[in-house]
Structure formats: C-alpha cells, structure tokens
Structure 1
Amino acid sequence: MSIRLLDVLKHSTLTPADPVIRASAAIAAETQLRWIHSSEVLDIAPLLGGGELLLTGGQALASATDKRRIGYIWELAERGVAALAIETGAALPSIPSSMVSAAQAAGLPLVELRKQVPFVGVMEAINSLLVSESAGQLQQADQTSHAMAVELAHGSSLDRVLAVLADATGSEVVLTSTAGVTLASALPAGHSEEAQAGQSQNDAPAGAGQDHVRDIHVDVAVRGIPSARLTLFVRGEADVNLARIAGSRSVDILALALLQRMPPGLKEMAGAALIRAVDSGTQNWRLQQLAPAAGIAVYAQLVAVVVRSAGSRQIRTNVEHLLDRVGQHSVSYADNAELLALVALHPDNVQEDRNAIVAGLQSIAAAEGIVSAVGPVASGISTAPWSLTEARLTLELAADGGPGRARPGQSGAALDAEAFAVERLAFHSLGEGLRTDFVRQQLGAVLDYDAQRRSLLVETLRVWLDSGCNTAQAARELHLERQSMHQRLQRIFSLCGGDPRGTGRLAALHLATRLVRLPGPVTSGLNQGAQQATSATLPVRG
C-alpha cells in the first residue's frame, strides 16, 4: 500500500504543524511519497531524485527575490518532487501568492505548515515507514528487470521488452531517441483501448483528478552518451514509486537492447558529446577531436544557441528544423529544460545565416513562449565555449532588466548577443564601482530627477539614443505624442548640460544609459518605484 501525501499530513508527528494545502489540492489525494527530506537550500532540486515531500522552514525564501521563489517552485516540479511544505512564521508570515500560483500551474502540491514542528522527528517517523515499503518495491523492480533481460536474451523486440515493464508497473511506457523519435512503446495488459491516452492525459492541466497521469522520465545512456529517454505514464492508482524504481533499474537492459538492435548514429552521439564538452569547458584538443565526428569542421564559423523552455518535445523539433534549414550543419543536446545547439554557418553567408537564425527563433518564441539567445560568431570550434557563455550571459542580462529588451519570464523572446555587446563588455571588463561612478557622472541629475518625480527620463533618453536620435521613432516606441517627446527631451537636455548632438558627450551618454540597468549597485540612483514604473509602463521591445 503506497504512502500518500494526505496520509502523511494526518500523521501524529505532522498534525501539530496545522498543515493546509495551498495549491494543487486536487491531486494531493493521489500524490504518493518516496521519501521526506528537509532543506533550506534553494538550489536543492538537482540533488533530489523525485517523489520527495520537501520540508523547508522558509528562511531562505523570505530573503529571496520573487523571481527566485517562482524558479524554486518550477525546479522542484520539473525534478518530480511530490510536494513542498513551507513552515510560516516570523521570517515568512505567509506563502507569497506568486508561489501559490506557480505551484498550481506546475501541478506541485504546496502545503503551509502554520505551526512549528521538529522536522527531524517527522522525517524519522515517516521515512521508517517508507523504507519498509521501498524494500518490497526494490524486490519487484529487480524481478521486472530480470524478466526484461530474459526477453532480450530470447531475441524479443523492444516493444516486447517494454511490455514487461508496462505490465509490472501498470503504466504506459515509451522509449524515444534524443531527437524525439519514438523507438518503442507498450501498454499494460488490458489497456490496449487507451493507446493514445497517456500523451493526451499528460497534457491535461495539473489537478485533473482521478485520471491524472504522472509521467516519470529516465535517461538511457549508451557507452556514456545520452541516447534515449524512457517515459512511464503512471495512471490512477498505479504505484508511482514502483514505476520510478523499476524504470531506473531497467536502464542497463534498455541500453544493451539499443546497442544490439538500433545503435545510435555516430554523428548523433558525437554531436551530443561535442556540446557537452563545449558546455563543460573541456580542453581544446578534445573539441577538435569530437567536431569532425559530429560533422562540424574544426575551423568552421559557428554560433551557439541556448533555448530555455519547459515545453513539449515539439519545440525542440521546431528549433532543430530551423537550425538545419538555415545553417550548414547543426548539433543539439537537451539537458532538463535547456536545449543547447551549435550551428556551423555557410562561409559566404555568415551574417545572413545568423540573422535568419535570430529571426526564426523569434517566430518560434512568439508561438511557443520559449526564451532563447544566439551567441556571437565563433571562429572555429576552439572558441565555441565563448559563444555559448556569451549566449547564456545575454539571457541573464535580459532577465535582470536589460535595456528595454524582451525579458525572459514575460513572454517569448529570442535575444541576439550582439545587441547586448556593450552590456557584455561592461560586465566582463568594468567593475561595479567603475560602472556606478561613470553612470553617476553622466546621468546623475537625470537619475535624481527620476527618483524624485517617479518619471522615466533615463529610459526615454536611452530609447532616443538607440533610435539614432530619431525623435519620431522614439516617440512611437514609447507610445508618446511627438510634443510630449520633445518636452521630455528638453527636460533631459536641461539636466545633463544641453543637447548632446554634435558633441563628444553623445557616446558617453549613450553608454551610460546602457549600463544603468546592469545588475549591481549601478541602479542605486534609481529608486525602486521608478524602476517598477519603467517595467510596467514601457512596451517590451525585441
């Protein structure tokens, strides 16, 4: 008998905490637990295995930004954590509504513990029960993997091997390649009429009730290279923990089956290995060794692409089709909610290819809500890690309020690292103190005016300078009448020493407006009210 969340909330060690479910209550009754863990660390998700009830005292959440709190919820949900319980009190009087909304959207049961209880006592009591249960699940999982090995030894198809796992766990089982192609699938005995149910129910909103399908993902590596993904769609009363354990125990059998029947293409394997090497900062000789095997010339002109999305397999397919269509050759690798790619550009059309990639990603972003960034052109595989680093930095700069550009988290966005060249240079080369001093020297009076009046003169100046001092264009982008735009400019000129056009001050002012919103103390001259007004009033620009 599986131990469920509601059972634990009614346990004598936890009832003194006066628990109440704040989000995803509809699926709490069927949420099964594998373990109970406690931590105040916000970056805990990668260290969890899925199926845990995570207890936290809320101290770290109390001092975290709202963006980090929401990210914490999504990271736990994507890791397969069963539920999150937050203790409220002096440090965190209540659970922020943004976290409640995120947990509801992610399908993560969120519990408020309104009184203090010793977490150690709770974990000792409940985990002892879970250990007893897991012993039986481990035995069943080992029997299942043995039966799968027998089927494989007798030459059965991949579908038949997966059918053993499906019958044992009561789950629909699908094995896909890293490119998203279905290699094999199976339904548990007696469920043939539901052949399409798993995927459709899995796409249903969180909290769909008794028919809610929970999916478990297990990566399958062949010779150390991720080559396939096993997904178990667990329905209704089926044991989620058994499915998780049995799926993990079947990895070696499935890897052997892939080697015997359909070994991954060498280029696909080399491409995944190449991107992982670029991402991890592997030595140059290793990159030069892997690139030709992946179909990329050592001295090719290439760009790195980073796509962040918790979306469907179809998004990856759309992105890969775009990169293959535009570039000379591309390789990609998906890691959790991040897709990394390297694209070799045609030597005679380097800039045109790169522009087409940015434009194509913008179309996908608008349709799918993804966030992506295209790095600068790298001359040869040796500098590919630099292009990847700059693409990621561009995403971070935009997320921290980059100057007027589309922000991840607000809507789909495809960002061009070249459009952030000034910010990237300043981030790498200028310390926070130097940036702060420079901005204050150039824009001090305007910053003070904005802080006192809650006005938007600094942002107005930046948009005007970005437009090439084109007053009409800047007015359109800011949704202002031309007369209002002229009035703002006159006020700005009076504060910063006159009209900068035709003087050597123009470049310095432009640089200052670009640096003013980089992360760090540069923004100390802007009060929070003015910054919030800027974010709420100005249109998002791609």
Structure 2
Amino acid sequence: MPIKLDEVLNHATLTAADPVIRAGAAAVAGTQLRWVHSSEVLDIAPLLSGGELLLTGGDALVTASDARRVEYVRQLAERGVGALVVETGQRLASLPSSMVRAAEEAGLPLIEFRKVVPFVGIMQAINSMLVSESVTHLRRADEASHEMAVELAHGSSLDQILAVLAGIIGATLELRSVSGVTLGSAGPEGAGPGGAGSPPEDAGSRPEDAGHGSVSEHQPGTEGHGTDGALINIDVPVRGVPSARLIINVPADGDVNLARVAGGRCVDILSLALLQRMPPGLKEVAGTALLRAVSSGSQPWRLQQLSPAAGIPAAATMVAVVVRTSTSQQLRAAMDKILKRTAQQSASYVDNAELLALAALPFDGAAAARTELVSALQELPVEPGTMTAVGPLAAGIEDAPWSLSEAKIALDLASSGTLTAAVPPSDTDGVVLDVENLAVERLAAQHLGQGPRQDFVRRQLGPVLDHDARRNSRLLQTLSIWLDSGCNTAQAARELHVERQSMHHRLQRIFELCGGDPRGSGRLAALHLATRLAAL
C-alpha cells in the first residue's frame, strides 16, 4: 500500500515535533511519499526526483531574501516534492508569510515543526517503511519494462507498448512529441485511450513546459499536487535529445510512486520505439559530425563542409563549451535550452564524460552574448564535481578547434589543482571557468616550463614569499587581489574583508619588500604577471 503524508504525520517520530500544517492542507491526504530527505541547501530542487518529504532546519532561510524563499518553494513544487517541513525555534522564529502564501498557491504541503527533534531519527524510521515499498515497485517496474521490450521486439505499435505500462500501474498514458502531437496513448484495463482520466489537452504540450529533470536519468519534469490524482511528466530522449514526453495521469486512488518508478524505468524502451519511428535528421547528424571534427582538429576544409549542414554559418563568431561530468548525457537537454536562448545557432555532442557544444553568436555584440552564456551556464543544475569551461571567441569555424582546445586546457589545469589559487571558490556544486580570465595561466602552462616560471616569480616576489613563509602572513594574496582590482585599495579591502587602514598597512609592507610603490613604473606589469604565475 502507498505510504501517505497524513499517515507519516501521525508517526511517533513526527508527532514529537508538534507539527502544524501551514499550507497545502488539501493535498495532504492524497500525497504519497517516496523518500524522506534532509537538506539546508536552497538549490536542492534539481537534485530531487519528486515525492520527497524534505526536512530543513531553516538555517539558510534565515538569511535568504523573501524573493529567494518564494523561489525555493516554487522550485520544490515544480519538482514534485511531496511536502516541505521547516523547523522553527531559536534560529527561525516562525515561518515567513511569503513562504506560506507561495506554498498555498503551488499546492505544496508546508509543515512547521514547533519542537526540535533529530531529523536522522525521522529519516531512519520512515525510510525503513518506504524501502520495502520501493522494492515492490522496482520489481513491478522491471516486469513492465520486460513486457514492453517483448512488445517492441514483436513490432507492436506505440499504443500497444504503452498499454502494457498502463495496465500495470493503473493509469492513463499519453506520449506526445515536443511540438504537442500525440504519438501514442493507452488507458488502464477497461478504459480506452483518451477516455475518462486522460491527460488534459494542454498538459505538457509545449516544449517550454519541460521541467528541470534530465532525460536519461528518467526523472520527472513536473508533477501536480492535489486530491484528484497526479500528473507525472517524464521526458523521453532520442539520441540524447528530448523528443517526446510521457504524461502519466494517476487517479486519486492510484499508486503515484509505482507510476513514477515504472515510468522512469521504461523510458529506454520508449526511446528505442521512437528511434525506429523518428530517425535523426540531417542537421542533428551533421552537428554531431561537426563537433567530432572540431574536437579531433580536422582540416579546415572538412569543417567548412560540415558547418552549413549543421546549420552553423562558417563565418560566424562562435565559442566552444566543454563540460566534464559523470552525467554528461543527462545535461545535454539543459545545455541545449541554454544554447537556444543565448546563441543564434548551436550544436552539442556527448563524448563519454564530456559534453561539447559550439555556439554561433551574433556578429554585433558577440562579446556580450558570450558573457550572457557564461552567466547562464553558472545556473545549470549539475552534479558535485562538474567542471565547465567556456572557450575564447573564435572568428569562424576554422578557429573553433582552438576555442575548444583552450577550454580543455583550462579544465586540465583546474582538475589537476593547478588553478586552485587562480579560480575563485564557487557557491554551487560545479565550477564554470571563463577561459578569457585565464589567459596568463594558459599561456604559461603551454609555453613556459615550471623552472622558468618559478625563477621569474622568485625574482619578482622573493621577499614577499619569504615573509609569508616566516610570519604565516597573506601578503601575496593581498597583492594579487589589489592588482586584479586595478590597484583599487578600497575594493581590495572589501574583497579581503579588512579595514582600509589595515589594507594600507599591508600594502606599505609589500612596497617595502618589493622596492617601492610599483604604480607609475614598468614593474607593475611584472608584479602582476608574477602573482598570476605564483598561482600555478
């Protein structure tokens, strides 16, 4: 039997917290839970799959703006999270009214814990109940996948393949293309396709309605809350490109978790079925061939030949992007959305653990468009450890291999730890490198050996390095930030979180060690270069 939210709220581990439902009360009775999770991270939504009971102590909410709190609730609701629990008390006195309003509007159950309880105890107790249910769901999902594969092997239609899944999960299914065309549909036993309980005509019919979920991880895009059942949307890719959406309409008395698990488990079968009916177009094939040629450094004539077929003008100003992650295939859909928004034409390609992309930018304002692309990539939901590099602007397709190569060099330096001091820490799980900001480091890594680099740094900064080693001071960091700020003492003091007077004292000591104030002299550039090389 599905485990419902109202049942869990009556469990002894939760009643000890004196819970009160502050919003979304109408959805509590019908909300089925898949897992209990605890996190203080406000950007957690992209990492969730839907159906979670999310516990938070509210530490991050205390310092967040009202707009960020509302966005937090909105993102969780869009992701299909079962309910949000916020513990109030010493840190967070009460639930912000903005969050309560946002949760009520989104239909997301928002629960306040008025007493402190150990979250680990709740998670252990409730998740142990959910595990046995999950095993049953996985077994039935595997049965559905196997039976659908048999239908596919026998050449059955999409309606017949979907009917297998519909019968097992007791829900109405519809498979739609990204343009909203119905490709196939099926209902549970006794209900024909398009009958009672069918998805509404506008549900998931537009490409822009797609959720955050990756396509090959089989995570749901959007999922509705309510007492009349639930809608689960799952993207279905063909060759890594979102090509259709499976819409599952689970009735009010149905098992939402089974539908979610089985639907995700069967995406590969549906992808194969679509592949038989939707062969890749010339543009997609040419785009893949073009990026493979760019990556391998093919002759310019070959790039000139492939570029028009891929829809990318050979003379366009373009930029290469490289993403290194264990989920490169899953990120491709999100990357394509960003490219569509920021570039005039683009192509993407997954090469093992690397996601490669090429974006053609407007001839007028290419630099601004590149800056917008870098900013957009910083918002990309990624797994921990993901590293992204945006190459320099390339003047035409012949320079595209150089842009891609420079991006890969920057990633190599960063992954080896070489750029630790040169790359600012990120607040997210991933790092986005703007290669244009690392020109000195790339030049030194490619054309200066370690010995000459160390000699140059020692000659320019020897006394400063010795002072830091003896006194455990941070004069080198101070000098580096001051130089990077354009010798703006006030700005450097803010970045270092020190008083301006302390900053002046540090600079005076640095000038004494370096032979005087370098401003207005030829030594300024040498010192700046030395601080950048020291980071290597």
Contact 2:23 2:103 in 1 (8 A): yes
Distance 1:242 1:142 in 2: 11
Distance of 1:258 and 1:49 partners within structure 2: 24
Q: Check the 8 A contact 1:173/1:232 in 2, yes or no.
A: yes
1:210 aligns with 2:210: no
**Cα contact 2:172–2:197 (8 A) shared by 1:** no
* Alpha-carbon shift at residue 126 of structure 1 (Å): 0.6
Q: What is the root-mean-square deviation of aligned Cα atoms in Å?
A: 4.3
Residue by residue over 1:491-541, the C-alpha shift from the partner in whole angstroms, topping out at 9 and shown as x without a partner, is xxxxxxxxxxxxxxxxxxxxxxxxxxxxxxxxxxxxxxxxxxxxxxxxxxx
Q: Report whether the alignment pairs 1:220 with 2:236.
A: yes
Cα drift, residue 179 of structure 1: 3.9
Equivalent runs, 1:248-327 vs 2, <5 Å: 248-267=264-283, 292-300=308-316
Amino acid at match of 2:230: R
Aligned partners of 1:387 and 1:268: how far apart in 2?
25
Deviation at 1:202, TM superposition (A): 5.8
2:200 alignment partner in structure 1: 199
> Cα gap change, 1:285/1:48 in structure 2, threshold over 3 Å: closer, same or farther?
farther
Deviations 1:167-191 (A, max 9, x none): 2112222223344433222222333
Contact between 1:54 and 1:85, CA under 8 Å: does it hold in 2? yes
Q: Cα–Cα, structure 1 residues 9 and 378, in superposed 2: closer, same or farther, change >3 Å?
A: farther
Please list the CA deviations of residues 133-190 of structure 1 after superposition, one character each: whole Å capped at 9, or x if unmatched: 1111111111111111111111111121111112211222222334443322222233
When residues 58 and 387 of structure 1 are mapped into structure 2, their CA distance, relative to the original with a 3 A threshold, is: closer
Tell me, in whole angstroms, the C-alpha distance in 2 between the residues paired with 1:60 and 1:96. 13
Is the 8 Å Cα contact of residues 301 and 379 (structure 1) preserved in structure 2? no
In the TM superposition, residue 274 of structure 1 has moved relative to its aligned partner by 11
Q: Distance in 2 between matches of 1:267 and 1:33?
A: 43
- What is residue 22 of structure 2 aligned with on the other side? 22
1:230 aligns with 2:246: yes
- Corresponding residue for residue 473 of structure 2: none
1:177 is matched with 177
Query: Which residue of the other structure, out of 356, 362, 365, is the alignment partner of 1:377?
Result: 362
C-alpha distance in structure 1 between counterparts of 2:122 and 2:100, whole Å: 24
Query: d(CA) in 2 for partners of 1:226 and 1:30?
Result: 31
Give CA deviations for 1:334-390 in whole Å, capped at 9, x if unaligned. Answer: 679978346649xxxxxxxxxxxxxxxxxxxxxxxxxxxxx9824799997455347
Distance 2:189 2:44 in 1: 38
Partner Cα distance (1:41, 1:84) in 2: 13
Contact map agreement 2:80 2:225 (CA 8 A) in 1: no
The answer to whether the 8 Å contact 1:220/1:227 transfers is yes
For residues 423-470 of structure 1, the C-alpha deviation after alignment (integer angstroms, 9 at most, x for no partner) is xxxxxx995996988xxxxxxxxxxxxxxxxxxxxxxxxxxxxxxxxx
Aligned to 1:100: 100
Identify the structure with the greater helix proportion.
Answer: 1
Indicate conservation of the 8 Å contact 1:52/1:83, yes or no: yes
Contact 1:300 1:380 in 2 (8 A): no
Deviation, 1:109, is: 1.1
Tell me, yes or no, if the aligned pair for 1:25 and 1:207 is still in contact at 8 Å: no
Call closer, same or farther: CA 1:291–1:110 in 2, change over 3 Å: farther
Residues 114-123 or 334-343, more deviating: 334-343
1:219 partner amino acid: D
**Letter of the structure 1 residue corresponding to residue 231 of structure 2:** D
Partner amino acid for 1:139? Answer: R
Per the TM alignment, residue 93 of structure 1 is displaced from its structure 2 partner at its CA by 0.9
- Partner Cα distance (1:77, 1:158) in 2: 31
1:165 maps to 165
CA shift in 2, pair 1:163/1:335, >3 Å: farther
Q: Which residue of 2 aligns with 1:388?
A: 373
Cα gap change, 1:100/1:207 in structure 2, threshold over 3 Å: closer, same or farther? Answer: farther
Which amino acid in structure 1 is aligned with residue 130 of structure 2? Answer: L
Separation in 2, partners of 1:343, 1:201: 29
> TM-score, with normalisation over the residues of structure 2?
0.55
Distance 2:296 2:366 in 1: 8
Residue 37 of structure 1 corresponds to which residue in structure 2?
37
Contact preservation (8 Å) 2:224, 2:231: no
Q: Displacement of 1:195 after TM fit?
A: 5.5
Residue pair 2:95, 2:112 contacting (<8 A) in 1 also:
yes
Query: Is the 8 Å Cα contact of residues 302 and 379 (structure 1) preserved in structure 2?
Result: no
Following the alignment from structure 1 to structure 2, what is the Cα–Cα distance between the partners of residues 69 and 93? 15
Q: How far is 1:33 from its partner?
A: 0.4
How far off its partner does 1:64 sit? 1.0
SS state of the match for residue 199, structure 1?
coil
Query: Percent identity between the aligned chains?
Result: 55
**Aligned residue runs from structure 1 range 332-371, under 5 A:** 340-341=340-341, 344=344
Alpha-carbon contact 1:178-1:229 (below 8 Å) kept: yes
User: Structure 1 pair 208/50, CA: closer, same or farther in 2 (3 Å)?
Assistant: closer
Deviation at 1:121, TM superposition (A): 0.6
Distance 2:272 2:318 in 1: 35
CA distance in 2, matches of 1:63, 1:120: 24
* Distance of aligned partners of 1:335 and 1:14 in 2 relative to their CA distance in 1, 3 Å threshold: farther
How far 1:127 sits from its partner (Å)?
0.4
Gap change, CA 1:35 and 1:207, over 3 Å in 2: closer
